[in-house]
Chain A
């Protein structure tokens, strides 16, 4: 199970209090810690690099504004994920017409070759592939997959963030995994495909 970056709760509490009191240094430290995580989360949820960058900037502002309302009893990562998820949903809702077209296009996404993650020169192809792969999922499947399999949040937290039942999260997760397996498994070295693809 991947271990997402998760500084100790006291650090978050200290930063939250300092940011709330207007400490510019604490805000800068918090930005450095959070920016990569928030951007990746937006990238996963939106499946679009440019949109993710814009959304991540908005998310950083929104989180820093709302950090006073964070209840330290709840894990910081889960709270932050909920804020980012809601913001990304707003982005998708605003661009629903465009999104429909993109989703239709993404449904036709086909991988001819899986770029090598270890090769620096293939970074752009990896970026396109991850956008295409995640874009091939429905919004809810993508949310479940990103939060559970990429962010490694507990299923209960994913359900809470998405506002659905945990059993539904598992169902969405299964659908997402099956779809991704169908897309990627034929290209993965050493993986036998036995017709389990969607």
Chain B
């Protein structure tokens, strides 16, 4: 018994096609043998197109039973417990945008901190902040000239409560500022 399922269906069709004798033009419409062969080939090709794969290939019962058993065993194979899907998977483009947003936020915060750092906070300790004089009269007037007098140790310059004594040996050419 010949098993056609052992042959490549394309090869089978090719072999059958080669056996079809080309009809002469006047035989095309009348030759039943060629017409039947062409119809058979057309139907075989149609079946092949409709039923994907090798529908033109007829399987013998033992092959059919074999495939059926494997298919049944395979479909009944115990499927292990489903793994839990990854939680909160975030698409890549969202991740990229998130990173960009985080970087921009960090930059903004750093900029703000840098800008605002020298400014005193309203809640800051007032004793740590330089205070402006309460009134312009509180300013110490700067004398137009610093009084100086010659003392035994040298020259003494006076500016308010501050006295500066220059301990140098004075010569007669030393000038004092009036």
Contacts and interface: CB of A to CB of B under 8 A. Distances in A.
Contact of A196 (B3, B57, B69, B83): B3
A40 B105 CA distance: 48
Interface stretch (A80-88, A92-100, A181-189): A181-189
B52 interface: yes
Contacts of B7: 174
Nearest to B80: A53
B62 A167 contact: no
A32 interface: yes
A127 interface: yes
A150 B63 contact: no
A162 interface: no
What is the predominant secondary structure among interface residues of chain A facing chain B? helix
Interface residues of B, number: 43
Nearest to B61: A191
Contacts of B70: 130, 133-134, 149-150, 180, 184
B84 to A, nearest CB: 8
Contacts of B67: 149, 177, 180
A24 B65 CA distance: 43
B62 A39 contact: no
A36 B94 contact: no
B52 to A, nearest CB: 3
What is the predominant secondary structure among interface residues of chain B facing chain A? loop
A173 B67 CA distance: 11
Interface stretch (A7-15, A102-110, A153-161): A153-161
Contacts of B5: 174, 177
B6 interface: yes
Interface in B115-143: none
Nearest to B53: A155
Nearest to A24: B88
Given A22-B90, A22-B94, A192 B85 contact: no
A105 to B, nearest CB: 20
Interface string B55-68: 00101111101110
A1 B72 CA distance: 13
Shortest Cβ-Cβ A-B pairs, 8 listed? A154-B52, A155-B53, A185-B62, A31-B85, A35-B82, A181-B66, A130-B73, A36-B79
7 contacts: A31-B85, A39-B80, A123-B76, A133-B73, A178-B6, A181-B63, A185-B66
